[in-house]
Chains A and B, each alone.
Chain A
Amino acid sequence: MASPVQIRVTINGTLHTHEVEPRLLLVHYLREVCGLTGTHVGCETSLCGACTVLVDGKAVKSCTMFAVQADGCALTTIEGLAVNGDLHPVQEGFWERHALQCGYCTPGMVMTAVQLLADRKRPTREEIAHALRGNLCRCTGYTHIIDAVEHAAARR
């Protein structure tokens, strides 16, 4: 087994320093080492998007990135989105429009939508659906999720 590597990662504004196995996936680092269990594992093959986090502002599937690759990066996870307990507009939109049922895909959906709205001020419904193509939801049928992202875009 390869020897541990030291990494320094800023997560939700706080600097973390850890020794990790080189093969440790970023999502497992977040969940098991940092205790941030809001980021979920749905497939481990980058297909479902439940593990999506922001790495230097870009939505990334943390199941197909190693923790060592995040060395020196600034990460935002679902836990870091609400400020002083106030929901982020995307979280607010999801709540208002009933865009979640079981909630398992939700953190990844929300993070992907956050990046979309950082790139596009008022995306169309088609653009929202396209942006979410890498995130699977089995409960909602997506319509309310698209409504939620529209709602968030309009509220900013």
Chain B
Amino acid sequence: MSTIVKEKVGYVGRAMKRVEDPRLLKGLATYVDDLRLPGMLHAVVVRSPHAHARVRRVDGAAARALAGVAGVFSGADLNAHCGTVPCAASMPDLKAPKHTVLASDRVYFVGHPVAVVVAATPYAAVDAAEAVQVEYEPLPVVVDAEKALEKGSPLTHPDLGTNVAFTWHLAGGDIDAAFKNADRVVRQRMYHQRLTPMAIEPRGCVASFDRGSGTLTLWTSTQIPHLVRTLLPGMIGIAENKLRVVAPEVGGGFGSKLNLYVEEAICSYLAMRLGAPVKWIERRRENAAATIHGRDQIGDYEVAVSNDGTILGLRNRTIADLGSYLQLLTPAIPTLTGLVLTGSYKIPAVRMDVIGVYTHKMAADAYRGAGRPEATYLIERLMDLVAGETGQDPIELRRRHFPKPQEFPFPTATGLTYDSGDYDAALRKAMELARWDELVGRREARRRDGGLFGIGVSTYVEICGMGPSKAMMAGGWEWGCVRIEMSAKVTVITGATPHGQGQETSFAQIAADRLGVPIDDIVVLHGDTSIAHYGRDTYGSRATAVGGGALVMCIDRVVDKAKRLAAHLLGARPEQVEFQEGRFSLKGGAGRDLGWTDLAAEAYVAKNLPAGFEPGLEASAFFEPENFTFPFGTHICAVDLDRETGKVTIVKYVAVDDCGNQMNPLLIEGQLQGGIAQSIGQALFERTVYDENGQLLTGEFTDYALPRAEDIPEYAMGATVTPTTANPLGVKGVGEAGTIGATPAIANAVIDALRPLGVKHLDMPLTPEKIWRAINRR
């Protein structure tokens, strides 16, 4: 295992272990289920076992009669008091169903909340939930998005009169000319399966209302406490400044906790109504059924190619299966697919038509990568298909379509401007690490022996560091604060909300270097809106790219202020003061110097300050990035297939990723390996399955196949470093690269292994059964 360590004095760039870990390793961290408040009640949600049904009757009488039960509430009780679930995306023709917190008269997916029971203990609440009588009248179900578009299909929401939620188009360049001038059109239909994020900590929340101050505190397992604080008031009517939202220790998100969910609104409302804290903890079956899913796009893809192998254009019609409701970003996900559809290639013309379709399933939304894994998979599969049909080498085809380093900033036909890149450098490095020629030789040798050995490549680019506010629904900036305490300890506050990514460590590294203080003197705070007053939280690989920008601004402001104070104390002008490694001195080295301890004491005691100098040593800042960032890289995967069983063995995996400047290579490696594992899951095992009645067949870890330790190969990992100009740290973000770059490399390798049998394409997941059928043509 290679860990990249830069030779450098200072903390940044070093593979430092995390300051977060001791509390987590000792069992002393506080996740939401670990909170206990006096008088706390426990909520359990009664959910629909039907995918589509009329709710004839909800009878809570038997439940109410049980010991310890504080209340049983149906839609009739709560929907008038809790507003509808917000969706932050909008299209001109978007038709949105009314998304109440509990079902009114119909249910639209298995797991749809119908009632909520509140009791003194968790066990009493579960007993009571089982005693709630709900009478359903089953209605026709549609679970297949393509069938949902057929005439006469059952309607997901009959009152909308259609299953089409929206249509969306993206066009760049002259697509008609591209196909008119094409010598050949390569076509493939591809299905990007539905996935379940499955964070190991399910969701959960605790709401507590302080009657005296009229303040509500909501602890919730979320990636977005700040967005929850912005959006929840619209549901329950509390003022934003009377609401405190806390993300305590959060046990994984992957996009599944980038949402405002009905349970958060219900617990908040009931805490106010009942005058007692209310806790709700999701169980695994609920997590599989009623926490957002991801992906689920199907489309017909066409590439216009000239005889010399040049790609002229790319067009497709994509059907996005949204499920039955719009969650926060549901309609936005396929638009992200469109934006990076041309990948790392110069493709002058593109057209994408998306139809968002309602079906009787849980809502699809942002699962790690959110739209971009779909795009990368499509373009990387298509590159292999084009190479195959035109008799070109897949590597050379990719290479000849790369923009050159000097062509950056590179404008794409989809309307983006890629910040910086050297795609060929990453490819070369990956081929070197893979010992490419040897690997190809091994494939040929295995094939001669009748083996099924394949090599897959993915030369991906992704869109990260969400993002400039002009491109984001609710602002794309990030907020931060740096305070030199009176004792010269340093408090860093960020509006980002890390939940495993490790910014308590990497932000301390950045601050320690720039302030010239020992790293142990720094504490990084986050995730509590009463401490981090504003923020846009953690998603879209943005925390360091955008939050780090705010951190640097704060540090610069604090240092500037300290320079003015130092100048005053040293009897000089600010421009004469030099700041180096935590010491303020006069340029030229004459006279005494001052450290943070001296300046902090003076700044807060405030008896000897320059005229007009505000006491204190603190600065806050909003950082607005000028562009997204565009990390890239090359992943190479080699697989050996078992002819008898169809089992895939990954025999080599090489990842070269460029996420710009590296703050902490150990954390980057962790993010990449975790993402690659999720890609292995998607490529080989994972698929969320509903049967034709809308029953969820993958509602547990028994049926939904997460990768396990034995499924993971040894990696060879490397990096190139191409800083971005979009933020002062030059970092691009790395949280999603693994799930974006890796999936197509694995899929391409499996298809390559089957190429001698004439197989051109298989949809994921590439399970042993699917491969066995391909081998045996059954």
**Across the interface, do A37 and B34 meet the contact criterion of CB distance under 8 Å?**
yes
Given A101-B674, A128-B709, A129-B709: A44 in contact with B284 (beta carbons within 8 A) = yes
Given A102-B499, A141-B673, A142-B712: A79 in contact with B251 (beta carbons within 8 A) = no
Partner of B200, one of A79, A125, A138: A138
In the assembled complex, B28 has its CB within 8 A of some CB on chain A? yes
In the assembled complex, B710 has its CB within 8 A of some CB on chain A? yes
**Across the interface, do A133 and B33 meet the contact criterion of CB distance under 8 Å?**
no
**Across the interface, do A36 and B284 meet the contact criterion of CB distance under 8 Å?**
no
A138 CA to B715 CA, complexed, in Å: 18
**Across the interface, do B254 and A100 meet the contact criterion of CB distance under 8 Å?**
no
Smallest Cβ-Cβ distance to A137: which chain B residue: B200
**Across the interface, do A94 and B670 meet the contact criterion of CB distance under 8 Å?**
no
Write the nearest CB–CB distance from B683 to chain A, whole angstroms.
14
Smallest Cβ-Cβ distance to A95: which chain B residue: B21
**Across the interface, do B201 and A42 meet the contact criterion of CB distance under 8 Å?**
yes
A9 CA to B229 CA, complexed, in Å: 43
In the assembled complex, A77 has its CB within 8 A of some CB on chain B? yes
Residues on the A chain within 8 Å of B587, using CB:
none
Write the nearest CB–CB distance from B721 to chain A, whole angstroms.
20
Write the nearest CB–CB distance from B736 to chain A, whole angstroms.
13
Q: Mark B669-711, 1 if CB is under 8 A from A, else 0.
A: 1100111111000000000000000000000111000111110
Considering only residues 470-502 of chain B, those with a C-beta below 8 Å from chain A are 499-502
Smallest Cβ-Cβ distance to B676: which chain A residue: A141
Residues on the A chain within 8 Å of B198, using CB:
138
Residues on the A chain within 8 Å of B499, using CB:
102
Please classify how large the interface on chain A is, using the bins under 10, 10 to 19, 20 to 34, 35 or more. 35 or more
Residues on the B chain within 8 Å of A125, using CB:
714
In the assembled complex, A121 has its CB within 8 A of some CB on chain B? no
**Across the interface, do A140 and B201 meet the contact criterion of CB distance under 8 Å?**
no
Given A104-B200, A136-B200: A145 in contact with B709 (beta carbons within 8 A) = yes
Residues on the A chain within 8 Å of B252, using CB:
101-102, 104, 138-139
**Across the interface, do A102 and B21 meet the contact criterion of CB distance under 8 Å?**
no
Q: Mark B494-520, 1 if CB is under 8 A from A, else 0.
A: 000001111000000000000000000
In the assembled complex, B25 has its CB within 8 A of some CB on chain A? yes
In the assembled complex, B772 has its CB within 8 A of some CB on chain A? no
A45 CA to B283 CA, complexed, in Å: 10
In the assembled complex, A60 has its CB within 8 A of some CB on chain B? no
Partner of B673, one of A37, A103, A129, A143: A143
**Across the interface, do A50 and B200 meet the contact criterion of CB distance under 8 Å?**
yes
Given A98-B667, A140-B674: A38 in contact with B26 (beta carbons within 8 A) = yes
A144 CA to B252 CA, complexed, in Å: 17
Residues on the A chain within 8 Å of B408, using CB:
none
In the assembled complex, A40 has its CB within 8 A of some CB on chain B? yes
A142 CA to B677 CA, complexed, in Å: 8
Partner of A140, one of B28, B30, B670, B706: B670
Residues on the A chain within 8 Å of B710, using CB:
126, 129-130, 133
Partner of A77, one of B27, B678, B700, B738: B27
In the assembled complex, B613 has its CB within 8 A of some CB on chain A? no
Considering only residues 214-257 of chain B, those with a C-beta below 8 Å from chain A are 249-254
**Across the interface, do A146 and B709 meet the contact criterion of CB distance under 8 Å?**
yes
**Across the interface, do A105 and B200 meet the contact criterion of CB distance under 8 Å?**
yes
**Across the interface, do B500 and A101 meet the contact criterion of CB distance under 8 Å?**
yes
Smallest Cβ-Cβ distance to B281: which chain A residue: A41
Residues on the B chain within 8 Å of A77, using CB:
27
A81 CA to B695 CA, complexed, in Å: 43
In the assembled complex, B24 has its CB within 8 A of some CB on chain A? yes
**Across the interface, do A106 and B284 meet the contact criterion of CB distance under 8 Å?**
no
Residues on the B chain within 8 Å of A44, using CB:
283-284
Q: Mark A66-83, 1 if CB is under 8 A from B, else 0.
A: 000000000001110110
A129 CA to B31 CA, complexed, in Å: 27
Partner of B123, one of A21, A45, A96: A21
**Across the interface, do B33 and A43 meet the contact criterion of CB distance under 8 Å?**
no
A14 CA to B415 CA, complexed, in Å: 65
**Across the interface, do A39 and B673 meet the contact criterion of CB distance under 8 Å?**
no
In the assembled complex, A47 has its CB within 8 A of some CB on chain B? yes
Q: How many A-B residue pairs have CB under 8 A?
A: 180
Write the nearest CB–CB distance from A11 to chain B, whole angstroms.
12
A140 CA to B202 CA, complexed, in Å: 17
Residues on the A chain within 8 Å of B29, using CB:
38, 103
**Across the interface, do A36 and B18 meet the contact criterion of CB distance under 8 Å?**
no
Given A44-B283, A141-B675, A147-B1: A101 in contact with B670 (beta carbons within 8 A) = yes
**Across the interface, do A141 and B667 meet the contact criterion of CB distance under 8 Å?**
no
Residues on the A chain within 8 Å of B700, using CB:
43, 45, 47
Residues on the A chain within 8 Å of B441, using CB:
none
Residues on the B chain within 8 Å of A101, using CB:
252, 500-502, 670, 674
A94 CA to B20 CA, complexed, in Å: 12
Residues on the B chain within 8 Å of A62, using CB:
none
**Across the interface, do B33 and A41 meet the contact criterion of CB distance under 8 Å?**
yes
**Across the interface, do A102 and B250 meet the contact criterion of CB distance under 8 Å?**
yes
**Across the interface, do A91 and B26 meet the contact criterion of CB distance under 8 Å?**
yes
A54 CA to B666 CA, complexed, in Å: 30
A66 CA to B123 CA, complexed, in Å: 14
In the assembled complex, A153 has its CB within 8 A of some CB on chain B? no
In the assembled complex, B394 has its CB within 8 A of some CB on chain A? no
Given A79-B26, A110-B25, A128-B709: A136 in contact with B1 (beta carbons within 8 A) = no
Residues on the A chain within 8 Å of B715, using CB:
143
Residues on the B chain within 8 Å of A126, using CB:
710
Write the nearest CB–CB distance from A9 to chain B, whole angstroms.
17
A130 CA to B710 CA, complexed, in Å: 6
Smallest Cβ-Cβ distance to B670: which chain A residue: A98
Write the nearest CB–CB distance from B574 to chain A, whole angstroms.
42
Residues on the A chain within 8 Å of B281, using CB:
41
**Across the interface, do A102 and B28 meet the contact criterion of CB distance under 8 Å?**
no
In the assembled complex, A114 has its CB within 8 A of some CB on chain B? no
A37 CA to B701 CA, complexed, in Å: 23
Smallest Cβ-Cβ distance to B679: which chain A residue: A141
A103 CA to B22 CA, complexed, in Å: 10
In the assembled complex, A59 has its CB within 8 A of some CB on chain B? no
Residues on the B chain within 8 Å of A87, using CB:
22, 25-26
Considering only residues 30-65 of chain A, those with a C-beta below 8 Å from chain B are 31-32, 36-45, 47-48, 50
**Across the interface, do B27 and A36 meet the contact criterion of CB distance under 8 Å?**
yes
In the assembled complex, A26 has its CB within 8 A of some CB on chain B? no
Considering only residues 5-51 of chain B, those with a C-beta below 8 Å from chain A are 17-18, 20-22, 24-31, 33-34
**Across the interface, do B284 and A95 meet the contact criterion of CB distance under 8 Å?**
no
A129 CA to B714 CA, complexed, in Å: 12
In the assembled complex, B122 has its CB within 8 A of some CB on chain A? yes
Partner of B199, one of A36, A95, A138: A138
Write the nearest CB–CB distance from B456 to chain A, whole angstroms.
18
A103 CA to B675 CA, complexed, in Å: 16
Given A136-B708, A138-B200: A91 in contact with B25 (beta carbons within 8 A) = yes
**Across the interface, do A104 and B31 meet the contact criterion of CB distance under 8 Å?**
yes
Residues on the A chain within 8 Å of B701, using CB:
43, 45, 47-48, 136
Residues on B lying within 8 angstroms of A by beta carbon are 1, 17-18, 20-22, 24-31, 33-34, 122-123, 197-202, 249-254, 281, 283-284, 499-502, 666-667, 669-670, 673-678, 700-702, 706-710, 712, 714-715, 738
Between A and B, 22 residue pairs with Cβ closer than 8 Å are A24-B123, A47-B701, A79-B28, A94-B21, A94-B25, A95-B21, A95-B25, A101-B501, A101-B502, A102-B499, A103-B249, A105-B200, A106-B25, A135-B709, A139-B200, A139-B252, A139-B674, A140-B674, A140-B677, A142-B708, A143-B714, A144-B673
Give the top 5 A-B pairs by smallest Cβ distance, nearest first.
A38-B27, A104-B251, A141-B677, A103-B24, A102-B500
Beyond A45-B700, A129-B712, A142-B708, list 5 extra A-B contacts (CB 8 Å): A41-B281, A47-B700, A81-B26, A138-B252, A142-B677
